[in-house]
Structures are given as C-alpha cells and as structure tokens.
Structure 1
Amino acid sequence: MDPLVLGALVAFFTIFVLFSGVSVALGLLIVSAGFLIVFDGMRSLELMPEILFGKLDNFALLSIPMFIIMGASIASTRAGADLYEALERWLTRVPGGLVVSNLGACALFSAMSGSSPATCAAIGKMGIPEMRKRGYPDAVAAGSIAAGGTLGILIPPSVTMIVYGIATETSIGRLFLAGVFPGLLLVGLFMAWSLYSTWRSGDATVLSSGSYTWREKFEILPRVLPFLGIIFGVLYAMYGGIATPSETAAVGALMCLLIAMIIYKLWNPRDLWVVLRDSTKESVMILFIIAAAGVFSYMLSSLFITQAIAEWIGTLDVNRWVLMGAINVFLLIAGFFLPPVAVILMAAPILLPIITTAGFDPIWFAVVLTINMEIGLISPPVGLNLYVINGIAPDISLKTILKGSLPFVACMIIAIILLCLFPGIATWLPDAVMGATK
C-alpha cells in the first residue's frame, strides 16, 4: 500500500480511537500494535516492549517529575493568593491595576508551577471574585484568568518544552530561554487588551481597590520572594553551567517543598502525601504518553509513513510560509481536541524534518507550536482552562467565559505573526546566552 494512503488510514484510526474515550497513551499503543500486526506481521510486536521502555531510558526525563513536584508543592499552599495580593498592593494606583495584577500573578505563578490548570485555580479563586466585586465585566474577569493560565506551558521552566526537547532531541536549555521573551510578549498583549477592554466598557472608574501604606506593601514580600528566588536560582544554575536541567529540577523541587513547609506550615503528612500522590499521577501519565508515542513513532517510521510525508512535502512547489500556515492550522485543530503533550509527541517527529527542510529554526518552531497549544487550552470543545474557570465561578456561564477568552486567542495569533516577522524574539536570547547554532 502507498505510504501516504497508509498515513491517512493511521490518522483516521488514531482520531477514531482517541475519540472513543480511551486514554491517549493506550490509544497510541492500540493503533501502533494494530498497524504493525497487519502490515509487518506478529513478529513486530516483539520489539514493542523494548521500544516502550527504551524511550524512558533518558536522563532528561527525570526533570519532568521534579518540576511537577515543584509546581504541586507551590499550588498546595497560599502562594498564589499571596502573589496576587502582593501585586494588587503594588499596582493599586495603576488604572485597571487589578486586571494587570491578575495577569502578572498568572505569569509569575505559571513560571513557578508550570501548570495551566493550577495557575487558573490558584489565581482565579482570589482574582475573579475580587474583579467582579470591583466592577469588571464577567467576561474580562474570567477570560483574563483563563488566558493567563495558559502561560504555564510557555514561560520556563515548562514541562511542555521538556517534552518537545526529548521528542526532537533539541536542547532543553535553549527551549527554556526561547520561551522567555515570547512569554513576556504574550503577557504584554494580554494586559494591553484587558486595559483597553475595561476602558471601552466605561468601568475604569470603579476599578481602584483603595490605597496601601508602604508598610502594607513591603510586609507581603517575604512570603513571595523566596519562591521567585528559587525560580531565578534554578535558571541561573542551569545556564551558569552549574548543573543539568534534571539536577536543578531536583534541587528546585526540594527547596519548594521546604519553603512550603517552613513559610506555609505544610507539616501535615497527609498534605505532603497529597502533593507527592498528585505529582506521581501526573508524572506517570506524561511518561506513559512519552513511551507510547515512542512506539507510535516507530510504527510510522517502520511503515515508511514519516519518510513519505516528508518527501511529499518537499516536492510541493509552495512558499515556505504557506507551508508554515498549513502547519499552524493543523496544530490549532489538533490542540482543540488533544492535550499539548500528546500533540507534541505525535506531531513533532513528523513535523521536525519538514520545518528544518523548509529552513525554519526548530527552537523557534517550538515556541510557535506551544502558543498554538495555548490556544487549544482556552478553545472548545476541550478547552481545559475554560472548565477550570467554570468550576471556580459556576455562576459565570461557559459561553461568557469563552466570549471573554476569544480576544486573548486573537492576542496569541498576533504573537505568532510577530514571531514569524521577527523570529529573533524567540531565538535571540538562546543564541546570546548559549551561543549561535550552526
């Protein structure tokens, strides 16, 4: 059978199996095993266990559970509430300062936790009721938090970037640095839209939350600065050549647990058990998807599907930006239905040779891909962050939350366009810190 036709069959059955309700990892294994048996015989199954476990034989994977523990320990405390309150006290005199505080808190908490749902939950519990009480439209209050939560998969340290680095054998350190300026760009675009939206609605006059003394402003900082210090310490150790990403993640996880215990009195063994239990569950889920995606990639390569697609794309007489536009549409649609980790592990091995052949930087492409995945987090039908916000504020309808998040989708699309026009936004910092790649 022609490999391209076979690839279309694989795509159809993969979508069918995943939509049947089977977990992503199990679905990938079912599809892989089925096509290998039909087109390569039963003997091909002998290699599946070796490939499955061999994919996990990677030292860099140790950083995933460590960063997850780091985020879980922070999410289990009042760190999000304190971060929100600190920014509110310092930005209270800024017009529309409360929405700026919320987006700033989302950005910082995302950097600390690396989790979009955790960011929405931690900041949203405090921020949404406060914004509604002070006159912000429900759509702005809910949409800004939903969008701000997506920053968790872009701003370093990001588990999504780690997964991309492993899937494409790309430097994780470079990927982390590549996410810094695009993350700040998105924060700036989000803030600009939120301030414009509140000004346009005529509610800016009721947004001030009062004034705070200098003492009140400074007394909250000791509860926030240690966590921020850990983030900068982890990044300094990584890029200062002191330790590897896995080692810095382990130290960061330990330090976050200790600070949570010391500052927030997280001494109860039951609370600590919840942190470790939830971290283990999420880590196992991600690692199982990584292992299953390895088998899926082997199946695609063994049946010459990956090679045929790359060769077919190479023969197309189209402008490379038209090609990139088509890839972005594909990623957007995939992100609407699948979690970011699954999309990256399934698509990156296929797309990497295509984008490198077309002359695109894989580090730059990682940022574009991640922003596409962010759009999926606040877009139906899955839109995980939309449901998290609805759980926090059930009296705000999903329709209103979606309406409030759509302008932020437009901000993300603008960010992708700016990255296409000025790729240095993503590539300058990695090249400046770690040297230009050949």
Structure 2
Amino acid sequence: MSSFAQGGIILAMAMVLFLTGMPIAFALAITAILSIVIFLGPDQFDLFGKMVFDSMNDFGLLAIPLFVLMGNLFGGSTASKQLFEAGEAWLSRVKGGLAMSSVLASAIFAALTGASAATAAAIGRVAIPEMATRGYSSRIATGAVAAGGTLGILIPPSVTLILYGIAAEQSIGQLFAGGIIPGIVITAMFCIWIFIATRMEERRASRPDVLPHHGARKVTARLYSWPDRFVSLAKVVPFALLVFAVLFVLYRGIATPSEAAAVGVVLVMALIGIGYRGLRGKDLIKVLLETTNQSTMILLITCFSAVIAVVLSYLRIPQDLATLVTDLDMNKWVVMLIINVILLVMGCFLPPVSIIVMVTPVLLPVILTLGFDPIWFGVLMTINMEMGLITPPVGLNLYVIKGIAPDIPLKEVLIGALPYVGILALALVLFSVFPEIITWLPEKLYSSGVATGG
C-alpha cells in the first residue's frame, strides 16, 4: 500500500471520529492509536505512550498555559471595557467609529491574551450591547467583533505561533516578530471595511423602499472632550507597556518564551490587582479553573496530533509528498494556492491548534522544497486559521458571538462576518506578493542584534 493511501486512511478515520461529535482531543487519540496498530503493528502499541511523553516533554509548551492564564486574567477583569472605551473616545466622530473601536480593542486585547475566542467574548460582551444602543445593525456589530477576535491568534503572543514554532523547529521570537506588522495591516483593513460598510448601510437606510438590517437604525455617537480622550488613553497605556515588557524580555534574549509568559502573568496580576482591582478571590479561582480546562484541552490536542504526525513521518508521507511536488514540476504558487485551500477547508471543521500540530510536519518539507521562508509560511498559515474561525459550519468565533448575543439570529452573525473572510483572503494575496511585510521585522531585529533570543 502506498504511503498516500495510508495517509488517506488515517485522514478518513479522523474525519469519521470528528463527525461523531466527540471532543477533538479524544478523536485524535483514537486515530493515533488505530494508526499505530494498523500500520506499525499491534506489537508497537507501546510506542503510543512514548510518543505522548516525548511530545509533551518540551519546555516550550509551558508558555501555552501561562499565556492562557495571562489572557484569562485580563478577560476576568475590566480590561476589555477600558480598551473599548478608549477606542470609542478617539473614534466616536468617525463613521463606524464604535465598530472600529471594537476591532482596535480586540487587537490590543489579542496582544494580551493570544486567544481568539477569549478576545471575541471579552470585547463582545461590552461592544455589542453598546453598538446596539447606538443604532448599529447586528451585522456590523457582530461582524466587527467576530473578525476582531481572530486577531488573537496572529498578534503576539500567540499560542498558534508557539505551536507552529515547536512543530516546525523555528524561532518563536521570529514568528512573534513576523506577526506584528501583518496584525497591524489586517486591523487597518478591517477598519477600512467598517467605514465602507457603515456608509453603505446609511445610504441603504435612506431609501424608503428598502428595509433596514436587523437592529439597524440611525447611528448616534457619544461626544468626548479632549481631556476625556487623554484620560481614557492613560488607562490603556499600562496594557501597552505590559505587551512591550513581555516582547522585550523575549527579543532581547533575557527570557525564553515560557519565561516571558511567566513574566507576563506576574505583571498582569500586579497591574489588575493594584491598578484596576478587577479580580476578587472567587473570580481568581474561576480564572484558574478556566485556565486549567483550556490548557489541558490544548495540550491534549497538541500531544495526540503530534503522535499522528510522528506516525505519518514513519510512513514517509511528508517526504513522499515533497518528492511528488518536485516531480510534478508545478508552479510553486499553484502549490501554495492548493495548500491554502486545503487549510481553509480544514479550518472550517477543526480548531487551529490541532491543524497546526498535525499538518505542519507534513507540509514543512514541501514548503522548504519550494524555497518558501518557514517564518513567512507560519504567519500565512495562521492567517488562514483566522479565516476558519469565522467560516461556517464550525467557525468558533461565530458561535462565541451567538452565545453572548442570543437575541441576534445566527444568520445575521454569519452575514456580518463573511466580508472579513474576503479581507483575510486579500491579506493572504498581499503578503504573498509582498512577503517582506512579514519577513522584514524578524530579519531586522535578528540581523541587527536587537533581538538575541526566543
């Protein structure tokens, strides 16, 4: 049996188990066990335990629960409200300013948490009701928050980039640096679309023969004085300094990603406890329990996906795939387009964590064979995962938004998020045509000696 046929059987087993509705981690575990028994032999079953241990025996993975804890501490505090109010104060006079402020708040919150669902939930709880009272349609309100939440896996620190760095054996510090400028560019693209969409809705609403969208009416803006704006900005400065501190100790080689995450947790607890007093004893226990649950699930998905990746490597599927691509002599951009379509389809059904860990070892030899930069590809892969988060049928952020705004029909959430899928696709094209947008900062930091570790 060819290696590709064996890989097809493993993929089919995984998809069947996913469709049963069982937790992703358990479906991956069963797939890993069956793959070992069927293709390596029942006498090799003891390899499962060894592979699980080896995949978890990595100090770099400690960064994941620490960054998750850092994000949950912010999520349980008043940080999201402070960020949203600051954005509103500065953008209140701009068309769609309130929706833009939710995207900007999401971008900053993403830099504090590294998690998309947490970002969408934290900002959405504050932003969606506020936008509803100001006359924004459900489509603009929910679309902005759902799309803004996707920035959580791109803007550093990012759990997805950490996992890619471990799976691809690339510098996590360089991956973090590679995500900064694309994160800023995509945030700006989101805001431009909000401005356009708001103008379109205003013109649509002025036509007497057209019914307004769900929840839409005349948009009103709250007026802020300049002192109010600077006061709101002062409340955001500590968050920016915190992100800078975490990235500084990482890029300067003062700390590893795990140690930088630990620094971030300590600073977050000090900031929230002293400056914002947003967490009490009961709230802190809740945050710790949520962190334990989320981290455990992420790490289980990671280790079982890694076992499948090792089995695929034993079967020489990545190597044979790279050889096949070389023999076909296809244009490398055609191959990249095919890879992105496959990732998008997978992202519609699976969480980014499992895709990154399971697919990276398979695709990396192909990427290197074609001459693509692995840091550049890691960022592109993450943007593709962003698209999956707001693409049905299993777009996680869509259901997070539906959960915090149950009165808004899911159809409205889907329609509101759909344009942002196109924007992210446009971003993929932009970063492919101009890869320097991703690679310039990592190369600049590490070639100049500004960054020495990570």
Give the CA deviation at 1:370: 0.8
2:68–2:295 Cα contact (<8 Å) kept: yes
Q: CA deviation at 1:372?
A: 1.0
Matched, 1:255 2:283: no
Give the Å deviation of 1:266: 4.5
Partner of 1:303: 315
Equivalent residues of 1:91, 1:97 under 8 A apart? yes
Instruction: Note the residue ranges of structure 1 that are not aligned, 5 or more in a row.
Output: none
1:392 aligns with 2:404: yes
Matched, 1:161 2:161: yes
1:13 maps to 2:25: no
- In structure 2, C-alpha distance between the alignment counterparts of 1:220 and 1:194, rounded to whole Å: 23
- Would the aligned equivalents of 1:161 and 1:366 in 2 still touch at CA under 8 Å? yes
**What letter matches 1:168 in structure 2?**
A
* Displacement of 1:402: 0.7
Whole-Å separation in 1 of the counterparts to 2:106 and 2:280:
27
Contact 2:318 2:365 in 1 (8 A): no
Does the CA-based 8 Å contact 1:56-1:291 persist in structure 2? yes
CA displacement 1:275-325 (0-9 Å, x = unmatched): 111111111111112211221112112223332222222221211111001
1:24 aligns with 2:24: yes
Do residues 425 (structure 1) and 437 (structure 2) align? yes
Who is 1:325 aligned against? 337
Residue matched to 1:350: 362
Question: After TM superposition, which residue ranges in structure 1, 4 or more long, deviate above 6 angstroms?
Answer: none
Give me the whole-angstrom Cα distance separating, in 2, the residues matched to 1:129 and 1:380: 24
Q: Which residue among 270, 273, 278 is the counterpart of 2:285?
A: 273
Structure 1 segment 106-255 matched on structure 2, within 5 A: 106-202=106-202, 206-255=218-267
Q: Which TM-score applies when normalising by structure 1?
A: 0.96
What's the offset of the Cα at 1:224? 2.6
CA contact (8 A) 1:147 1:408 kept: yes
Q: Distance in 1 between matches of 2:411 and 2:377?
A: 32
Q: Provide the residue aligned with 2:46 in structure 1.
A: 46
- CA gap of 1:207–1:226, structure 2 versus 1, over 3 A, is same
Task: Kindly provide the CA deviation profile for residues 335-359 of structure 1, in whole angstroms up to 9, marking residues without a partner as x.
Answer: 0000000011111000000011011
Cα shift at 1:218: 3.0
Give percent identity, aligned residues only: 46
Q: Report the AA paired with residue 422 of structure 2.
A: A
1:338 to 334, 340, 350: 350
- Tell me what 1:359 maps to: 371
* Residue equivalent to 1:75: 75
Match of 1:377 in 2: 389
- The alpha-carbon deviation at position 164 of structure 1 amounts to 0.5
Deviation by residue 1:105-146 (Cα, 9 ceiling, x = unmatched): 111111111121121122112211222222222211111111
Distance 1:393 1:37 in 2: 46
- Give me the whole-angstrom Cα distance separating, in 1, the residues matched to 2:176 and 2:68: 16
Quick one: which amino acid aligns to residue 287 of structure 1? L
Other structure's SS at 1:435 match: helix
CA offset at residue 206 of structure 1? 4.8
Separation (CA, whole Å) in 2 of partners of 1:265 and 1:368: 38
Aligned partner of 1:55 in structure 2 is 55
Pick one of 392, 402, 415 that aligns with 2:414.
402
1:96–1:208: 8 Å Cα contact kept in structure 2? no
Q: Which amino acid aligns with 2:299?
A: L
Distance 2:138 2:26 in 1: 39
Aligned residues of 1:88 and 1:101 also touching (Cα < 8 A):
yes
Note the C-alpha offset of 1:265: 2.4
Distance 1:52 1:266 in 2: 38
Alpha-carbon distance, 1:369 to partner:
0.8
The Cα offsets for residues 90-117 of structure 1, whole Å up to 9 and x where unpaired, read as 2223333212211111111111111211
Q: How far off its partner does 1:428 sit?
A: 0.5
AA aligned opposite 2:420: F
Equivalences, count: 437
Contact persistence 1:98–1:207 (CA under 8 A): no
Structure 2 counterpart of 1:288, one-letter code: L
- State how far apart, in whole Å, the 2-side matches of 1:34 and 1:409 are: 36
| 1:103 aligns to 2:96 (yes or no) | no
Q: Distance in 1 between matches of 2:393 and 2:360?
A: 23
Query: Structure 2: 5+ residue runs without aligned partners?
Result: 206-216, 449-454
Alignment partners' CA distance in 2, 1:399 and 1:246:
40
* Structure 2 residue identity aligned to 1:61: L
For residues 225 and 155 of structure 2, what CA distance do their matches in structure 1 show?
A: 32
Contact 1:266–1:272 (8 Å) recurs in 2: no
1:23 maps to a residue whose letter is P
